[in-house]
A = this chain, B = another copy of it.
Amino acid sequence: MSTLLEVARRAGVSIASASRALNGESASPRTVELVTAAALELEYVPDARARGLKRGATGQLAFGVADVGNHVYVEMMRAVEDAVRDASYRVLISSVGSTVETEVALLRSLASGYVDGLVISPLRVDAELLAELGRLRVPVVVVGLLPHPEGFDNVRANSAAGVELAVEHLLDTGRRRIGFVNGPEDTTPGRVRGRAFTAVCERLGLAELGVVASDFTFAAGLDAARDLLDRTTRTGTPLDAVVAANDLIAAGTYHAAAERGLQIPGDLAVVGMDDSALAAQLLPTLTSVDLGAAARGRHAAELLLARLRDPDRPTQSVVVEPALVVRSSTAGSPS
């Protein structure tokens, strides 16, 4: 409410001295005391816009995320926050929906001066989005697979390897009829995971039993899993395992199985992906492929900080390898 000028007047010094006193620049003890007292009295709060305008930096970063309801992004976000804390940046989260238009609108708004840089994890990437990224006045790190990684700092999971880990683990536990509930294949992760499943089935001589959910959510996963279970049951050789493209879809699969009287893991083994908090919360606990959400967040933050320090450094791409976390949903052998 009050400005620096008012503080300066009240302290009986110039505006420059007031600024210096409050920012710990060279100032006499007496000035500091006077100014601090005046600021306190007037409840002075510096205007961040003016400061940002002058300094060309805001001390804020943004994390743009496709679905705040998905716990995986929460883990990434926490990792980002932890990683930038020491550099004393604050992190704002922005839910961007899953369409390119909303994504672009967010970018425009944030990157026009409210933040010094951003990390985004888009579900869908197209030319328009990439063009917009290039136009931004602040550096951006993209988490997720890019058609042309060069040109952007980029962190991605190896979800193809993750799908392989899941399928191989199921084979190891004696499962043979393995279904796959994917997310939408017009998204980057959906496309990659779908292709990986096809490839691994071919390599291992398995029937490819897949279905596509309309979104990476619980509700969509439930619908898709119902469809897959019913379809395969009608053929006479029901599934004995399902790989889900993320943990929410796996949770939907649990419910579809329960509706049909199938026990997990006895009748049906389930493997999720992301190893989000939900995996440990479900009953039975969910075996899940950890795609390194926290590690991706940390790497993204570090790349961003590095670029902020040196805008001219070459762009860098980091790949995080997956790891299988075995829990109860794949225990034992098929009954």
A81 CA / B106 CA spacing, docked (Å)? 13
Work out how many copies of this chain go into the complex: 2
Q: A50's closest neighbor in chain B, by CB?
A: B53
Q: Which of B62, B254, B277 contacts A283 (CB 8 A)?
A: B254
Q: How far is the CB of A103 from chain B (nearest CB, A)?
A: 13
A99-157 at interface with B (beta carbon < 8 Å): 105-106, 108-109, 111-114, 135-137
A255 CB within 8 Å of chain B: yes
Q: Which of B46, B52, B74, B258 contacts A49 (CB 8 A)?
A: B52
Q: Contacts of A254 on B, CB cut-off 8 Å?
A: 283
Q: Are B93 and A68 in contact (CB under 8 A)?
A: yes
A5 CB within 8 Å of chain B: no
Q: How far is the CB of A289 from chain B (nearest CB, A)?
A: 19
A207 CB within 8 Å of chain B: no
Q: Are B90 and A93 in contact (CB under 8 A)?
A: no
Q: Are A277 and B112 in contact (CB under 8 A)?
A: no
A interface residue numbers (CB < 8 A to B)? 1, 43, 45-50, 52-53, 58-60, 62, 68-69, 71, 74, 77-78, 81, 90-95, 105-106, 108-109, 111-114, 135-137, 218, 248, 251, 254-255, 258, 277-278, 280-283
Q: List 26 A-B contacts (CB under 8 A).
A: A1-B135, A45-B108, A45-B135, A45-B136, A46-B112, A47-B53, A47-B112, A47-B113, A49-B50, A49-B52, A49-B113, A49-B114, A58-B114, A68-B74, A68-B77, A68-B93, A69-B74, A69-B277, A78-B95, A90-B94, A90-B106, A90-B109, A91-B94, A92-B93, A278-B281, A282-B283
